[in-house]
Structure 1
Amino acid sequence: MAAFKTLDDLSDIAGKRILVRVDLNVPVSDGKVTDTTRIERVAPTILELSGKGAKVILLAHFGRPKGEPVAEMSLKLIAPAVEQVLDHAVLFADDCIGPAAADAVAGMQDGDILLLENTRFHKGEEKNDAEFTRALAANGDLYVNDAFSAAHRAHASTEGLAHHMPAYAGRTMQAELEALEKGLGKPNRPVVAIVGGAKVSTKIDLLMNLVKKVDALVIGGGMANTFIAARGTNVGKSLCEHDLAETAKQIMIEAASAQCAIILPVDGVVAREFKAGADNEVVDIEAIPADAMVLDVGPKSIEAINGWIERAQTLVWNGPLGAFEIAPFDAATVAAAKFAAAQTAAGKLVSVAGGGDTVSALNHAGVADDFSYVSTAGGAFLEWMEGKELPGVAVLSKGA
């Protein structure tokens, strides 16, 4: 990963107008923010800049308004939650460009924090349109990107602005990039990856990239059934993408040539129906009943997975091992997560996790705070794991 400038490279910023791209795309119900995690993540950057006397101008999107103003996607709804998390007044402008934005910026005092309206109310945002980017840039002297979760999009506020003014990574972006570098960039070996979730089809690029980068790849969740079936084993009524058997075989061939061990379940917890407390039993993976489905990996498999985690110096985790939302099919995910957390706490493991259900699964296991780093970025984290260049990151590196 190329070098990038951080807030440590900024000095004498009192009075400077700093455009800060943040992720405020938070869940809202009945007009109230229900989860402030993303706001909490960007708070350190905002407060550090404000504390040094900068005029902090926040850029963000909310929802998918498709280039038109949509009342229920106004960032005005989010502003009170931002104020609460920051414990600092937050001004608001009804547009992110033009007179409304310019007047609000002109009225700022040093240390003030201003939230501009949803950047996606303009078609130029997602098109990375040059004219729209210039209009955004008119309000700032410096640019800070603290929205890794939007870094896989080459939009005006995530990529375009870095071509118009000095660009820096905010504290959240910096932490994310440093954690990812430890995870797959220049990791301590052995590196073990755990990839779970329902479908292989959504993770083909990810698996193809990982087998070339890691020493062992643990495959769990519904995905594992596709690999097991590809070997000729009957998986009963389990979730399985039989049409991807050849893809699964190809991934196993690639892994063998890269000397990456593929770890598949040797036993599973099966049930006839998918509901809480359903009658279930543990069976050998070669003996799945025709009328049953595998909903979690079994105790022998958990022991094997924990054995690999114990040998590892670095763990990268994406996706649960079973149907963790419903007990008792959360057992494997919880057991492996707790073991990884303990190894991390003992200083034996660097553990990096993220993407989709992973955060929920680690929260469910009660260990999200015990991993070295848990990314709240879904798509960007997955694209990074797939080995793709992220435009919002690349432009920070080039400017350094």
Structure 2
Amino acid sequence: MLSRVDELWNVYGPTETTIWSTVKQINKGDEQITIGAPIANTHIYLLNSQGLLVEAGKTGEICIAGDGVAKGYWRRPELTAEKFTSNDFDTEQQTKLYRTGDLGKLLPSGDILCLGRIDHQVKIRGHRIELGEIEEALEEESEILSSVVVVNSSRLMAFIITNEARDFSEDNMAKWKKNLSTKLPDYMVPQDFNLVTEFPKTLNGKIDRKSLLKNASEKRETTHFTAPRNKTEQIVAEIWQESLGFNSIDIFANFFELGGHSLIAVKVMVRIEKETGGKNYPLSSLLEHPTIAKLAKFIDSDKDISSWSSLTPIKTSGNKTPLYVIHGADHNVLIFETLSRTLDKEQPVYGLQAKGLNGIDAPHDSIKKWRHIMLRKLLNLTQPDLMLLLGIR
């Protein structure tokens, strides 16, 4: 990466401290990639479990104080009290200290080396997630006695102990997913559910999460499984399995319900382009053809993809007035598939994406021209007084 840029900087800091708290310029001669030193008006403390400073070279929790520290979490007083504590090192100003949950140590150079997480707070697709919060929501279900949620290859997996002896079915999983989606953001809903009779324990009596992953089958339990029926389905299936972390995938399973998202979609479509002769299929192909069977059929149809269309169907079913979502800064509408699943089941959703994403057409050269084309497209689709628009920046 250094050969492609004039300068490369590593910037560290959570959202709770207004994004960046430390910076470090990366050079070719660096033996370790550190997070550097605090920026102006910022203080970093490395603390032990008792809230005391650790010695230089010793490992401690990275805690941040300074002008960038937020007041707390919106309507989350318990979590705010846990993470935002009084800064005992600044008794005059009575400032707050944010406990990041990251481990770090101070090097002789004065730089801080970040060593990873200390708890079960994880990051999925850029979102910081408390696994315990998901487990609490799961255990509100009447059939669930206890649950453990773990992360495997950026995919959330739930291990369930039910409160009565009964067969585990897809209907249970569908119900739990639906109920969770009303309580939690989409990225916090597990993609896999595994029924177990007990949780393995470590020697000190704690739940052994690593053993849960080791013993779990990577294949999602399904009532019926349909294997690929032709060469194209086999190619797509192998790419999906590798990208999503499954041993096998039913050709009628939905990419997004399996845990697919925009970042994985990019990898999938790049691989498909390489494996199918270099044809550049748009990311929106996954929205219109979200199963292996449908996507393979689309590829085999040899449909002309050179003709650009801004309109991308995301969810076509429903009897309500359609919602048209205009793309944001990343120019693509794939991320709105998640939005469509949180809306009413009768709410159709369409995306309006930027020109040029197919690698063939030239992008619009002005906002005015882009606006004119988008409005003309919308007016051709619906009555002006019945139009629902959503703009994302």
Same-fold status (TM-score > 0.5): no
TM-score of the pair, normalised by structure 1: 0.26
TM-score of the pair, normalised by structure 2: 0.27
- Structure with greater contact order relative to length (CA < 8 Å, sep ≥ 6): 1
